[in-house]
Structure 1
Amino acid sequence: MTDAVIDYAGVFQALPGMVALLTPDLVYADANEEFLRQSGRTRDQVVGRYLFDVFPDNPNDPSASGMRNLAASLRRVLTTGERDAMALQRYDVQSPENPDEWEERYWSPVNAPVHGPDGDVVLLVHRVEEVTELIRARGRPEGSRTRVLEAELYTRAHELQDINERLRQAHAREREVALALQEAMLPAPADVGHHRAAVRYRPAVGSLNVCGDWYDLVDLPDDRIGVAVGDVVGHGLQAAGVMGLLRSALSAASRATDGPAEALEVLGLYARSVDGAENTTAVETCIDWDTHTITYSSAGHPPPALLRPDGTVTFLDQATDPPLGARPEHVPRPQATTSFTEGASLVLYTDGLIERRHEDIDTGLTRLANSLRRNRAADPEALADAVLAELLPPGGATDDTALVIVRL
């Protein structure tokens, strides 16, 4: 059997349950025989057509919500890349022979992603269980106790669906407040001294996984600047508050200590007293134009990238240590120095720019290096826009992203 070639198309068609494949635009790419049989549709009436053209809501039922709920579930899968199981749905089906006739139907859907090589969702698996007969048993006096319990389960499922919708609205409000707080605490985009810099912050799309990322640029004596980025574990208002505390603390430490390693040591000690700061990652750099050097230290953060004028990209990964608070005892952090030539660019970022589900981090780093190489002639503002456009998914990332580019 191990040497046999499995006919997966045949397996798909023979599946005993209703299963369809949808494109990210919600167009049917395929449907198995059971799906067609139970939905009362032919292959030509389904494949290649938009989902809600095939199965619209019943216009005679003002309370119909099946289409809205299904669309919301599918959007969640596209945005998060995670499986989504829906509550039981009443979703009436239009008669193919008589468009004015609608049959009351009840479905239990589950939607799941199929990821492509780059980690993006390329297909949606839409599996449906037909439960109409179980629900109709509610109205039968002779129905068994089991069927009565099944009907009660349906009612409770709809109550849970209403609760989930209220929670979703509350989360949306929290997200708005957290983003406003984040924007207020991050420094406004500006060059540092006479040196050109570009900063960007992109919140996660359709998710509360926002407001833990920060960036900072600090003027230092003797034609030096400190540049840092960090990422708090957590999300929402709590992460925004922790982010503000740590950013301010590192900004102060970079002015009062002798180099990035000492600044991160101070930040690590401070983080032990801040709830929610454990396992925060950060990288601190000091750019010195007099000596044309970059000194840096990293607390578990993705390495900064040095883009040289000839297109060579070097990742600064020679001074990496665990995240803040990861060690029970205090240990001096490592520090490294590298040289640069005029016209190079230093790029700092958070993991939302490079990390994708089901993908090795080296793939994301290679993607970043290639983007920097292609756009090396651009000024910092144009380079930042190009990198975000090329690396972030079209619909937005599921983790927030901070990006800083300094022209050296």
Structure 2
Amino acid sequence: MTDPEIDYAAVFQALPGMVALLTPELVYADVNEQFVRMSGRSREQLVGHYLFDVFPDNPDDPAATGMRNLAASLQRVLATGERDTMAVQRYDVQSLERPGRWEEHYWSPVNAAVPGPDGEVALVVHRVEEVTEFIRDRGGPIGTRARALEAELYLRARELQEVNERLRRAHAREREVALALQEAMLPTPRLKGPHRAAVRYRPAIGALNVCGDWYDLVDLVDGDCIGVAVGDVVGHGLAAACAMGQLRSALSAASRVADGPAQALDVLGRYARVVAGAESATVVITFIDFAARTITYSSAGHLPPALVHPDGTVEFLDGATDPPLDASPDPVPRPQATTAFTDGATLVLYTDGLVERRGEDIESGLERLADSLARHRDHDPETLVDAVLGELLPPAGATDDTALIVVRL
């Protein structure tokens, strides 16, 4: 016996609470019957319209924060894919019968992500409980106590908002300092000869999520050779920026005198033990010999570089992978491997913000990267790097830093 097919559209319309579906642009995609009835808006006034055009903040109340708080909650859901439950919010809703008159309402919203086939947020479920009657009970002593409690909660909410605003400004200042520090420490590629490279750094969304990742490109002493590296320091903010700068500078110096990338990582691993914040840092470094047409590489717990051959084949260089910098209590020589390339190939180094997604196997991210690199392989490095970022990073921004280096071989 087969179960009868469930009419989910009918179920959605019959849900007992106010429920709406929003697009990532915060446009109403659908609303249930309860939402129409309780909001006082017709379906035609809701579906296809921008949320905050339908329900703007009360312009006569400069202290109104309901819609601003809702916007912040929805952006968190879009950025993280996580459910966000809000505290009770006061919304002044404009009367349709008497334009210019704003009616006081109290709503308790919950916002949740609906992932699409690609794992990105395709829709947001916006569920609202109307609690105005509970907050503004007009009858007898219960109503008096409710209004007193409402006033007390309102004052406490305002105090909390002021504290949050001060914290937000402090976090914003720290982010600005961290970004400036990072820009000073991360180099602009200047390679000798005709070699072309492009680099991009994209900080994570959020006030302090910046400066965990780094990159480096150096001209090596012997012959027509360059060193290319990327690394990832655990953590964010100024502490991560300082650790990142020290590791990048140390590896840049070690690369110029080391016999190969493995020896450079050996030196860096010893140095990392005395750098605060360098715990569990990962890095991969490649030595490119243009005369011999070879790439020698070594990785300390980092994702493998991608070698894009002229025919579109993408080879991930994973033949010399070892644990992160401080994983072993005693120094152990790291492995290195060498592979050949032909003219017109492209070497790509990156950090995990480009390919890792919550709840998804890393292989899926690597497959997306390989597909994008193969399709855009004939572009110049500057165009290629922007095309890859445009395809792989979420539209609302990634929750982790991303560094990306492209070198045409």
Aligned to 1:92: 92
Q: Relative to 1, partners in 2 of residues 1:27 and 1:214: Cα closer, same or farther, differing over 3 Å?
A: same
- The answer to whether structure 1 residue 239 and structure 2 residue 240 are counterparts is yes
Find the counterpart in structure 1 of residue 358 from structure 2: 357
The answer to whether the 8 A contact 2:137-2:146 is kept is no
From the superposition, tell whether residues 312 and 207 of structure 1 become closer, same or farther in structure 2 (CA, over 3 Å). Answer: farther
Q: What amino acid sits opposite 1:183 in the alignment? A: E
Matches within 5 A, 1:203-242: 203-220=203-220, 221-242=222-243
Q: Which residue of 1 aligns with 2:250?
A: 249
The separation in 1 between residues aligned to 2:196 and 2:383, in whole angstroms, is: 12
- The TM-score with structure 2 as length reference comes to 0.91
Q: How many residues align?
A: 408
Query: Which residue identity is paired with 2:41?
Result: R
In the alignment, which residue of structure 1 is the partner of 2:314?
A: 313
User: What is the CA-CA distance between 1:91 and the residue it aligns to?
Assistant: 0.5
> Structure 1 unaligned runs (5+)?
none
* Counterpart position of 2:295: 294
Change in CA separation of 1:116 and 1:158 when aligned onto 2, cut-off 3 Å: farther
1:261-300 paired onto structure 2 within 5 Å: 261-300=262-301
- Is this contact kept in 2: 1:259–1:295, CA < 8 A? yes
Query: Which residue pairs with 2:189 in the alignment?
Result: 189
Question: Shift of residue 151 of structure 1?
Answer: 5.8
Deviations 1:180-220 (A, max 9, x none): 11000011232244422222212223452211111111221
Alpha-carbon contact 1:118-1:359 (below 8 Å) kept? no
Residues of 2 paired with 1:346 and 1:294: CA distance? 9
How far apart are 1:287 and its partner, in Å? 1.1
**Sequence identity (%):** 76
Contact 1:191 1:198 (8 Å CA) reproduced: no
Larger deviation: 36-45 or 281-290? 36-45
Distance in 2 between the 1:99 and 1:145 partners? 32
Deviates most, 233-242 or 323-332: 323-332
Q: Which whole-Å CA distance do the structure 2 matches of 1:226 and 1:273 have between them?
A: 24
- The more displaced of 110-119 and 276-285 is 110-119
Answer yes or no: is the 8 Å Cα contact 1:88–1:158 preserved in 2. Answer: no
My pick for the range that moved more, 304-313 or 133-142, is: 133-142
SS at match of 1:229: strand
The 5-angstrom pairing of residues 152-167 of structure 1 reads 152-167=152-167
Measure the CA separation in 1 of the matches of 2:106 and 2:276: 46
Q: Is the 8 A contact 2:136 2:146 kept in 1?
A: no
Q: Say which SS state the counterpart of residue 105 (structure 1) adopts.
A: strand
State the match for 2:400 in structure 1.
399
> Is this contact kept in 2: 1:285–1:295, CA < 8 A?
yes
* TM-score normalised to structure 1 length: 0.91
CA deviation vs aligned residue, 1:35-55 (integer Å, no higher than 9, x gap): 223222332332222212221
Q: Which residue of 1 aligns with 2:11?
A: 11
Shift of residue 388 of structure 1? Answer: 2.0
Structure 2 SS opposite 1:172: helix
Give the Cα separation in 1 of the matches to 2:102 and 2:2.
Answer: 48
SS in 1 for 2:229: strand
Aligned to 2:382: 381
SS of 2:111's equivalent in the other structure is: strand
When the two chains are superposed, the root-mean-square deviation of aligned CA atoms in Å is 2.5
In the other structure, the counterpart of 2:68 is 68
Distance in 1 of aligned mates of 2:312 and 2:39:
56
Residue 170 of structure 1: aligned partner:
170
The whole-number CA distance in structure 2 between the counterparts of 1:2 and 1:181 is 63
Give deviations 1:346-377, integer Å, cap 9, x for gaps.
11111122222333222221222122212222
Deviation sequence 1:242-301 (CA, Å, 0-9, x none): 110110111122223221122222222222222211111110111122322111111121
Q: Given residue 22 of structure 1, which amino acid in structure 2 is its aligned partner?
A: L
